[in-house]
Structure 1
């Protein structure tokens, strides 16, 4: 793997919203504990009572309200290797009976923190909380973090005919919150969200600064107010076997709400799973993002696709399509295959003027927690430039 490829995967916004990924992950994990027995087993061995295989289900369920979750970071944008530690505090909530007489299970309150460090000297620390306002049926999430992150961005289509890499350092403070009101059909929810970023960018020691960096980007504040509407009918948040999830959301940035930028960001995503046979699960993902106005360069839409450096291809619009197949080969082991096409461009009349980006790859999964249908594994992907690997927790499409 080329060294430069280790520094330019994924966009800066994904790095800064890593706190949201942690938050969503543990919300999904604990929301299913109501389907299992609540009596603590006599032993806490890491083996399943059904097949005797290594399994973490009981450890995750009976952690007495506290667990420390270690993780390996394989994100190439952060150097390709690193570690993270997340202490999580859980508070169980009793189910309630709604006015229509139906029982409604309540997700546990989740409060925690995390710290991460990678081999390219990127680090981040933060805290988060996810909980439920039971009576009004509101799910809320809130988190904050500070990080010192090293990433590469590229100037494309230079007069010389090539691209130039610029390694930038970001010192960033981030705050995010989302409040979703569940409808009568709990699969539907909607509500407001807010994102705050304060960033200081250290430029490389060059005679000429990167052409895409404006003077106002060096020390800037982004304040974005938005909303989200989603339908989630997947049978599992981690490694679904069937169901779809559709989400539409937007962010509005304006000087009137404390931002240095006037812009809009609109996102639409659809992820679906279908069991082709008892052992073969097919998946389809379609995502699009549109930026309007004058957003900072690091918040422009990019290509989020395995094997593709997202910050390498950016524009005012991005379109991503990806298919995936999971073959449950033997007992808890599964074989993966996937491929995708994507494009990022500035103007719709030149939507596919640039070559369409592609990627493909394979990997494996192991059912690490049967009671949660949680699988983990490794993916290896080949893009149109280079190879990359990913350690996958649940699903690469986990949202």
Structure 2
């Protein structure tokens, strides 16, 4: 019943947005203001909205992709909320790329824990956070970019534990500040929705006490995305491999969770650890004018270290989705996905395609 309701809502929104869709390519700003609805077993139903404007910083710069500014907010039926503003800039014939964001929120979530006598069970927790993020990249040679990133974040995590558990264990307050180094080889022919090419990104984040972070540890992220035009721009195969590797004194907040774009279909937070590895593929088919569909499948693993990857369980995820090309000039799609994982599932209303955000 919920799936039918969301599909009806998606069709209704398309009718509204199609009327207001940007058709005048001479306009300085292409604006998208989009409500969205998601659902998963942990957060419940999510209601939100995002407004994003696309524009050229320099109208004479025909090489740089469009820059964008936006704000978003969401609220869920389990009383989680999140608000953020973000800015993406492409400057000087795409020699400089800048991404910045600031926001705050609180998410009521859960994780899976094996306890003595009780066995495996979900433990509820809530994490409140305030954060500021910046990432700056400079073209080094042809399609190779190098850069730095930084995150300043304060989190407060409250675990739903019995009253006899000390407050020092039930509540965890810490800063999660880091500095990162980035290498990105980008052969994509478009930033938002590529029809061909690939990009390989290496990002290494350092959490240190001298940055006022609560723990000393590192997080290495390796990403490889490849896009294949099968017949024409209406038939695209996108593939993705992702590894997130945290080492050192990794806190609970520094662990990675299987879910989101890697892999859709997991929303309960059961599978989390210091390292997550995922591989998946997605077929994108625009079958009629601005309407399209996608099908995707992949597998992931959450492990403490790489040596465990061959002995831990494999987590499959697969699903389908609908798309509508809202702004042709910017290749901006809106859509809804439904995905099934192991003992889990989720609905995702999305702005933009997976693998590109």
- TM-score when normalising by structure 1: 0.75
Structure 2 residue matching 1:74: 3-state secondary structure: strand
Does 2:217 align with 1:263? yes
More helix by share: 1
Q: 1:235 matched to which residue of 2? A: 189
For residues 325 and 265 of structure 1, do their structure 2 counterparts lie closer, same or farther at Cα, with a shift above 3 Å needed? same
Structure 2 residue matching 1:256: 3-state secondary structure: helix
Give yes or no for contact 2:25–2:329 (8 Å, CA) kept in 1. Answer: no
Does 2:237 align with 1:297? no
- Correspondent of 1:388 among 343, 346, 352: 346
Which whole-Å CA distance do the structure 1 matches of 2:111 and 2:214 have between them? 21
Give yes or no for contact 1:106–1:134 (8 Å, CA) kept in 2. Answer: no
- Correspondent of 1:192 among 135, 145, 148: 148
Does 2:59 align with 1:94? yes
Q: What are the Cα deviations for residues 309-352 of structure 1, in whole angstroms up to 9, with x where unaligned?
A: 37321112111011111233333332322111111111333223
Give yes or no for contact 1:89–1:112 (8 Å, CA) kept in 2. Answer: no
Q: 1:219 matched to which residue of 2? A: 173
Which whole-Å CA distance do the structure 2 matches of 1:181 and 1:75 have between them? 38
Q: What are the Cα deviations for residues 241-289 of structure 1, in whole angstroms up to 9, with x where unaligned?
A: 2111211101001112211100000000111111222353222110001
Per mean C-alpha deviation after superposition, the further-off stretch among 230-239 and 315-324 is 230-239
Which whole-Å CA distance do the structure 1 matches of 2:326 and 2:91 have between them? 31
What is the correspondence of 1:39-50 to structure 2 with a 5 Å cutoff? none
Which whole-Å CA distance do the structure 1 matches of 2:145 and 2:315 have between them? 34
Q: 1:16 matched to which residue of 2? A: none
Q: 1:344 matched to which residue of 2? A: 302
Give yes or no for contact 2:135–2:149 (8 Å, CA) kept in 1. Answer: yes
For residues 385 and 242 of structure 1, do their structure 2 counterparts lie closer, same or farther at Cα, with a shift above 3 Å needed? same
- Correspondent of 1:152 among 103, 106, 110: 110
Which whole-Å CA distance do the structure 1 matches of 2:32 and 2:332 have between them? 18
RMSD over aligned CA atoms reads: 3.3
- In structure 1, stretches of 5+ residues that fail to align are 3-45, 48-52, 97-102
Q: What are the Cα deviations for residues 51-70 of structure 1, in whole angstroms up to 9, with x where unaligned?
A: xx7672337873x6585723
Does 2:239 align with 1:281? no
Which whole-Å CA distance do the structure 2 matches of 1:90 and 1:172 have between them? 31
- In structure 2, stretches of 5+ residues that fail to align are 3-15
- TM-score when normalising by structure 2: 0.83
Q: 2:288 matched to which residue of 1? A: 330
Q: What are the Cα deviations for residues 342-394 of structure 1, in whole angstroms up to 9, with x where unaligned?
A: 11111333223221111111222222222222222221111111332111322
Give yes or no for contact 2:82–2:106 (8 Å, CA) kept in 1. Answer: yes
For residues 55 and 229 of structure 1, do their structure 2 counterparts lie closer, same or farther at Cα, with a shift above 3 Å needed? farther
Q: 2:124 matched to which residue of 1? A: 167
Give yes or no for contact 1:377–1:391 (8 Å, CA) kept in 2. Answer: yes
- Correspondent of 2:332 among 357, 360, 374: 374
Q: What are the Cα deviations for residues 75-112 of structure 1, in whole angstroms up to 9, with x where unaligned?
A: 5354332112447596742335xxxxxx754754x555
For residues 105 and 338 of structure 1, do their structure 2 counterparts lie closer, same or farther at Cα, with a shift above 3 Å needed? closer
More strand by share: 2
